[in-house]
């Protein structure tokens, strides 16, 4: 009886091991994009939650507002079609320097930096010479926004990991 229960688990494991071997190049690229989106969103969530957890009271509310505003700036760039990395960096940095007082400006920039650096790497490897991947770049920016929103949500899952998933992630090419 125990062997019969084990058989479906073993077969599921063995079938799962060869999933990538039968995928078309497009399916592999889509799977890779989903991994990148997950890493970006989780990394930004980690950064935001980690920083927010160090704050208390009214300061926490102010910083939450700063993060929300930064997410709106990024989302606005997507809406306006301004997705080139230098434009995104310029707008986000200008918004932070104009609207976020010290020392919060440095912390906010730091929390968003890994996500934006990842976006820059993704864009350079996949979009710069292939405009057909522009929509994928938009998805990466939207993952940054989603990471900020998730990081600010007190009900979303707590970050139990001690390392940011974006740290050291270098495989940005589809």
- Complete domains list, the chain, with CATH: 33-152 (1.10.520)
pLDDT per position as a tens digit, 74-102? 999 999 999 999 999 999 999 999 999 98
Specify the pLDDT at position 142: 95
For 4-15, the pLDDT digits (tens) are: 334 443 443 444
* pLDDT at residue 85, rounded to an integer: 94
Residue 81 in tokens: 């079609």
Separation of alpha carbons 16 and 10, rounded Å: 10
**In b/e form, how buried is each residue of 12-39, taking b as 16+ CB within 10 angstroms?**
eeeeeeeeeeeeeeeeebeebbeebbeb
Name which of 21-25, 83-87, 146-150 the model is least confident about: 21-25
**Predicted TM-score of the model (pTM):** 0.80
Mean pLDDT of 43-49: 92
**Cα Rg of the chain, angstroms:** 19
Q: Which residue has the higher pLDDT, 110 or 154?
A: 110
Cα gap 136→130, rounded to integer Å: 11
If one counts every other C-beta atom within 10 angstroms of the C-beta of residue 131, the result is 9
């Amino acid at each position: 009886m125990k062997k019969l229960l084990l058989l479906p688990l073993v077969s599921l494991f063995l079938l799962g091991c060869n999933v990538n071997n039968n995928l078309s190049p497009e399916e592999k690229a889509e799977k890779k994009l989903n991994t990148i989106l997950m890493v970006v969103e989780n990394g930004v969530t980690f950064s935001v939650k980690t920083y927010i957890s160090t704050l208390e009271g009214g300061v926490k509310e102010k910083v939450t507002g700063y993060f929300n505003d930064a997410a709106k700036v990024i989302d606005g760039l997507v809406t306006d079609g301004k997705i080139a990395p230098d434009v995104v960096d310029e707008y986000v940095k200008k918004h932070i320097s104009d609207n976020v007082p010290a020392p919060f400006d440095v912390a906010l920039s730091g929390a968003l930096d890994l996500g934006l650096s990842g976006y820059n790497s993704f864009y350079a490897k996949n979009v710069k010479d292939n405009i057909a991947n522009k929509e994928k770049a938009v998805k990466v920016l939207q993952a940054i926004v989603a990471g900020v929103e998730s990081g600010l949500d007190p009900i979303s899952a707590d970050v139990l990991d001690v390392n940011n998933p974006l740290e050291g992630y270098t495989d940005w090419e589809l």
